[in-house]
Amino acid sequence: MLTTQARLAVAFALVATAAQAQDTTVTHAYSNFGEVKYGPDFAHLDYVNPDAPKGGEFSMGTIGTFDTFNQYARDGVPAALNTIGSESLLVGTADDAYGVYCYLCTTMEYPADQKWVIFRLRDDVTFSDGTPMTAEDVAFSHNLFLTQGIAEYRAIIESFYESVEVIDPYTVKFTFTDDAPIRERISTAGSTPVFSKAWFEASGARLDEASDKPFLTTGPYVLDSAETNARVVYRYNPEFWGADHPFNIGQNNFETIRVEYFGDPTAAFEGFKAGEYTFRNENSSKDWATSYTFPGVENGWVIKAEYPDSTVGTAQSFVFNLDDPKWADPRVREALGMMFNFEWSNEALFYGLYTRVNSFWPGSDLAATGTPSEGEVALLKPLVDEGLLPESILTDEVVAPPTNEAAQNRPSRGAYRAAGALLDEAGWEVGADGLRYKDGEVLEAVFLTYDPLFDRIINPIIENLTPLGVKAVLERVDTSQYVERRRAADFDIVSHSFTMGFEPGIGLEQWFASKTADDSSRNLMRLRNEAVDKLIPSVVAADNLDDLATAVHAFDRVLLSLKFTIPQWFKPKYTVAYYDMYAHPETIPPYSLGEMAFWWYDAEKHEALKAAGALR
């Protein structure tokens, strides 16, 4: 009888023989579009300082509370940076938009049809407790997400795989179904975080339940301490297995990373001015334009800087809850959207810092523009013929958010007339009290938020909605209520950030597909639209950049035509302030600011700040 080791050897030999017969590719990296940037023997990433000093603390502030270290469960509010220790088989870089590289693996092997992929794992990877990571952990983690992951993820990913096989302790094979999208097979199989199977089994932890500690992972940082709703501190693991890995040279430079929690934005900003934390990614245009006049800036202790951001812009928007019947009519949604005067807001409130969101891929070549191209028409025409889209979408300019004069908040009289006509057509009639009614129900629009900074943005919209006959209300709740009410679809209108990438694919289903509308952290608006569902496969199937752009343009055009958002704004740059104790490489890469990754601490400058009284 064969021993277990012998059986594994035989199995591996059979797999290897079968692989050789299929003309397979064995490689350190993979890209759907062109060559990857880095070869198998690169010394370090181009954008890091390989001689960056190690040590010191990076500290930042955040708003709200936390009560769990598991962001994959629906329960609780996750602590900031709770996945800082997570790693996966494959990683991307901040200067290669399409490449993925072996990290926890040495090579990947796959046939021309990509029916399967075999990952050869590194044999030196350990979890933070020193135990080795093996193929069993990879398979276990994969199955954990398929059985305990959030429903919207499982609904999409579970149909990708026929099997996941542990070939030997350092070899794992993923076999795909015929339905799995070709472009996403390898990258999806290699992107799952790897957790310790032994730790999960011993602790009884579950992916779908809140956790008072982070999961056992392989990454460079571990939890050092936590004080609920006050702070959380992560510490570099001196036994981190990957310190000398080429991907980590010049990275993970801080000894500790601390996050301070504050009850509101004003307290957070005051905390920064007082030196309670030392790095601030500023998201208030008002503060950026008017509040950086405190002594720390004037004395040169605090650096205020802007850096370019070449990622796809975040399409921040208000979204309607489409499960509420009053928002089912696009005419009603369009009418309310006309009452947001971005031009005035940008000049009076945002100090000209922002650009209007006009796409779900703003600031990128994937944004739809003008009238449809021939390629777009070819994708849209069958949906028009089926009656799923109006014929006008084949010839009209892409739907753009309305524009207004910046001189005053109020939209033009023409805008009010047009918005009123849309509400009249939708059956919302003005009553004796000036409010609009339909079937005895008043047209009430409640803007849900947790952030006091949004008061000054929402209140002018409410001011504009009132003459239209809409009973508009701002409701501000605490962070935990806000998170839960978004999850439960207990809102009228809420702010949402659509974060798209350069290579959209099956993940679009989590954002926009009917199948995820009942339970999704991304499809918050509960969008159910057959034309959208039928266009997603065209994006997924695109096998070259030209076809991908065409498909995304058509898809973007349709999404915008549905008017389920009131587009807000984005900015193609980072606006940051930090105490002059940090340094970064001369050139920031296009796709990441990397402040916690490849910046570093300057001990001499820190001591100088302390001596000057800027920091304790």
pLDDT (tens digit per residue) in 395-412: 999 999 988 888 889 998
Query: For the ranges 67-71, 272-276, 450-454, which has the lowest average pLDDT?
Result: 450-454
Q: What span, in angstroms and rounded, lies between the C-alpha atoms of 195 and 379?
A: 42
Ramachandran quadrant class, 613 (left: phi over 0; alpha: psi -120 to 50; beta: rest): left
Helix (H) or strand (E) run with residue 165 in it: strand 161-168
Model pLDDT for residues 181-236, shown as the tens digit of each residue? 999 999 999 999 999 999 999 999 999 999 999 999 999 999 999 998 899 999 99
Amino acid occupying residue 488: A
Q: pLDDT band for position 13 (50/70/90)?
A: very low
Start-to-end Cα distance in the chain: 70
Model pLDDT for residues 412-443, shown as the tens digit of each residue? 899 999 999 999 999 999 999 999 999 999 99
Q: pTM of this prediction?
A: 0.92
Q: What span, in angstroms and rounded, lies between the C-alpha atoms of 468 and 416?
A: 7
pLDDT score for 22: 65
> 203 Cβ partners below 8 Å, 6+ apart?
none
Amino acid occupying residue 45: L
Model pLDDT for residues 24-40, shown as the tens digit of each residue? 999 999 999 999 999 99
Look over the chain and give the mean of its residue pLDDT values, rounded to a whole number. 94
110 SS3 class:
strand
* Both structure tokens of 352: 């000209």
CB 555 within 8 A of CB 538: yes
Q: What span, in angstroms and rounded, lies between the C-alpha atoms of 49 and 584?
A: 8
- The HSE-up count of residue 106 (CA atoms within 13 Å, CB side) is 9
In sequence order, what E strands does 273-356 have? 279-281, 302-308, 315-320, 355-356
Domains and CATH numbers, the chain: 4-30+86-203 (3.40.190.10), 315-411+486-570 (3.10.105.10)
pLDDT score of 322 more than 70: yes
Q: What span, in angstroms and rounded, lies between the C-alpha atoms of 202 and 199?
A: 5
